[in-house]
Amino acid sequence: MTSHQNDPGEHPAEAPASQGEDLAALLGRLTEKRPGRTPKDLAAEAGIPYATLNAWMRRTRGTSRVGSDVLRDLVRVLRDDWGKDVTPAQMFAAVGRAVPGGGDAEREARLLRIYRELPVERQRDVVRYAEAQLTVSRVS
C-alpha cells in the first residue's frame, strides 16, 4: 500500500492549498461556468500573458515563482470584475506560500516598480506628494 504523503526529500511541483487546490484547480474552479468570459479574458484583465496562465492551468509550468503582484492582480480581477469569492490567502496557498505581510522591502519594491512605469511628470508629482506626506507626518 502506498502513502499519499511526500517523502521528506521530495518537493512537489504544486503545493496543495488549504482546501487541497493547487493554482490550476483554483483557477479552473473560478473560471468554469462563466458565460461570456474565458481564461483568456482573465489573463488580459489581470495583465498576464495568456500562454503563461494557460500553462499554469494545464500544470505545464511551475507556479512557485509567481510574483506576489500577479497573484494579487488575479484576486482583484476575479473578485472585483468577475464577482468570485476568492481571497489573497487562497491564491497564495494555491502556490504553496503564505500571504506576504506587506513588509518594508515588499512595499518599497512595489512603489519603485510603479514609479518607474510613470511618465516623468507623474514621477515628479509622486515625489512632491511624498515630500508633503513627510512634512505632515513630522508635524503630527
Q: With a threshold of 0.85, does the pTM exceed it?
A: no
Written as one string, the DSSP assignment of 36-87 is T--HHHHHHHHT--HHHHHHHHHT-S--TT--HHHHHHHHHIIIIIT-----
Would you call 22 exposed, middle or buried from its count of C-beta atoms within 10 A (0-12, 13-18, 19+)?
A: buried
The Cα 35–Cα 48 span in angstroms is 21
> What pLDDT is attached to residue 16?
37
DSSP 81: I
Per-residue pLDDT reduced to its tens digit, 111-140: 888 899 999 999 999 999 999 998 888 887
Residues 32-51, mean pLDDT to the nearest whole number: 90
Residues 51-79, mean pLDDT to the nearest whole number: 90
Domain ranges of the chain: 23-94, 104-139
User: Per mean pLDDT, which range of 7-11, 33-37, 50-54, 135-139 is the poorest?
Assistant: 7-11
Per-residue pLDDT reduced to its tens digit, 81-116: 898 889 888 998 999 887 776 666 667 877 888 899
Quick one: fold of 23-94?
A: 434 Repressor (Amino-terminal Domain) (1.10.260)
The Cα 89–Cα 72 span in angstroms is 10
CB-side exposure of 77: number of CA atoms within 13 Å? 21
Cell output for 22: 493547487
> What pLDDT is attached to residue 138?
86
